[in-house]
Amino acid sequence: MLPYRAKSLKRRFLLPFFLSIIVVSLFSYNLYSNKDVDYFKQYASYVGGGSIPISESVIPNEDSQPQVETRNSNDDNNNNNDGNFDDNANKLVNQEDVRANQNENNVNSPDERNDQSDTNSNSNSDSDDLVRPIRQNYIKKQFTSPHSSFKRIEYYRKEEIPVSQKTVLILVNIGQKAAYGRDRTFSDFMDTLSTLYETPYKGLVLSIGFLSNIDSEFQTVHKYFEDNVGSILQNVPFISRISLYSNSDLEVDGGFTRQQRQKDEFQRFRRRLIAKNRNFLVNSALQDEQYILFLDADIVRFEKPDKIIPTFIQSEKDILVPRIVKGGLLDFDKNSWRGERTKPTETQLELFNAGKYDDAKYVPKDVESNMFHFQNFVAEDKYKRLRRYFSYNTELDSVGGAVLFTKSIVFRLGAIFPTSYIVGTTWDRTEGYDGIETEGLCYLAKPLGFRCWGFPNIVAYHAER
């Protein structure tokens, strides 16, 4: 038993101690229930996994892409240029008339996007501050192979970018002298390229890759990004990385000059070189991106550039091309077509079997009576009603490469740009008579379940040399 004085001290000190604990607990409970706790919860969610590095993102499910512009595969007969065109065109025009405003709304104009951005920033400013990138800095990585001429320089955005359902890899193959067109430089090309993404797209993340196998031009491109990459990443917060590649071992030109490159007898060598470079660039640069946009370095401008990438994505097509204009030619890239091509004679095939391709003197040509090019679309009256629909598309058998947009899964499943004429090959005949480079891409993609499409109302302009 404690003496009376000890009991008195116990009552005097212990009772206030327990009462203070109760008061502190009640105060903490009230503080936690305060609305400010939402801020801490949101911040904790952001830091603990609200975003992941783009290099670790998973390729989104393509089935989840927005369905905006869908068309019946029978809208254009693949083997007959006329067929049931009028009925199908009427059906298409009626569908487009009903959905024209809807399609335009889905591809938001810059003003609409700015209005939405302003509204969101005013109503959720505290929330936006949590997910906005902190500072636009980057990490530079370099690699030079000790065994070949391969070089790689990469600029990665240092901070994390929120996960997006729309990741696009833009690939540019820079050729030899005057690659950008007469009196144009790499800086001019970057001005053209930037028009495709100068208007922010909600949920879009871009990566850009360049291949230049000429050392002097590679150094020019390298210096450009050394001087400008910081401001580019600062001004365009949805660019994830910029990569530069070079491999002079690929530059075996077969002995032809720039003046000879359009001649029939040099097409097999010229396009083999282009195909090798395209394949090398895809295999070097592709990471987790869902789409790939190929651009030639001598593209100088686009019509409605802010709508091109969103329209291509929303179409949900596998492989697609716009129309290319060069000077007075309203359809410059003749590798985009649908229809029938010529075939070699038996004598020419025998020469192929003997490996005497030059002696065969065969070059694939169009069968004019059964051939569709974009030139038909812009010149013939039966297509007149369809020229006002920006996202109108028609199926093709072959595509060009000046501007080419594809789902990356096409290449992941095994399609390539064939480095030889793949149509007409046998075990004994190592090279056929048609289907090289971009023309062979569709040929390989079809057995994999992919199809090629043309968008003749989307226009890019080629440099006039």
Residue-wise pLDDT for 230-267, tens only, equals: 999 988 989 999 999 999 998 865 555 555 555 555 67
What pLDDT was estimated at residue 18?
Answer: 64
Domain that holds residue 192: 135-462
Residue 22 lies in a domain: no
The per-residue pLDDT of the chain, averaged, comes to: 78
Q: Rounded to whole angstroms, what are the CA distances from 462 to 172, 307, 337, 382?
A: 14, 19, 18, 27
Q: Is the pLDDT of residue 327 over 50?
A: yes
**Separation CA 460–CA 305 (nearest Å):** 9
What pLDDT was estimated at residue 23?
Answer: 55
% of the chain exceeding 70 in pLDDT = 67
What pLDDT was estimated at residue 270?
Answer: 87
Residue 10 lies in a domain: no
Q: Which amino acid is at 361?
A: K
Residue-wise pLDDT for 14-34, tens only, equals: 666 666 666 555 555 444 444
pTM assigned to the model = 0.73
Residue-wise pLDDT for 92-114, tens only, equals: 544 544 444 444 444 444 444 44
What own/partner pairs with CB < 8 Å and gap ≥ 24 does 27-32 have? none
Residue 72 lies in a domain: no
Q: Is the pLDDT of residue 89 over 90?
A: no
What pLDDT was estimated at residue 149?
Answer: 93
% of the chain exceeding 90 in pLDDT = 56
**Residue 433, number of CB atoms within 10 A of its CB:** 23
What pLDDT was estimated at residue 265?
Answer: 59
What value does the mean pLDDT take over residues 161-165? Answer: 71
Residue 356 lies in a domain: yes
Number of domains making up the chain: 1
Residue 338 lies in a domain: yes
CA 43 from centre of chain = 33
**Residue 286, number of CB atoms within 10 A of its CB:** 16
**Separation CA 57–CA 59 (nearest Å):** 7
266 vs 189, more confident = 189
What pLDDT was estimated at residue 430?
Answer: 85
Q: Is the pLDDT of residue 42 over 50?
A: no
Residue 47 lies in a domain: no
**Separation CA 414–CA 405 (nearest Å):** 17
**Separation CA 332–CA 109 (nearest Å):** 29
Residue 94 lies in a domain: no
Q: Is the pLDDT of residue 372 over 60?
A: yes
pLDDT interval class at 115 (50, 70, 90):
very low
Q: At what angle do helices 85-106 and 305-315 cross, to 10 degrees?
A: 120
360 vs 172, more confident = 172
What value does the mean pLDDT take over residues 200-227? Answer: 93
Asked if 429 and 352 count as a contact pair (C-beta separation under 8 A), the reply is: yes
Residue-wise pLDDT for 413-443, tens only, equals: 999 999 999 999 998 888 899 999 999 999 9
Residue-wise pLDDT for 303-316, tens only, equals: 999 999 999 999 99
Residue 371 lies in a domain: yes
Q: Is the pLDDT of residue 87 over 60?
A: no
Indicate which CATH number applies to the domain containing 250: 3.90.550.10
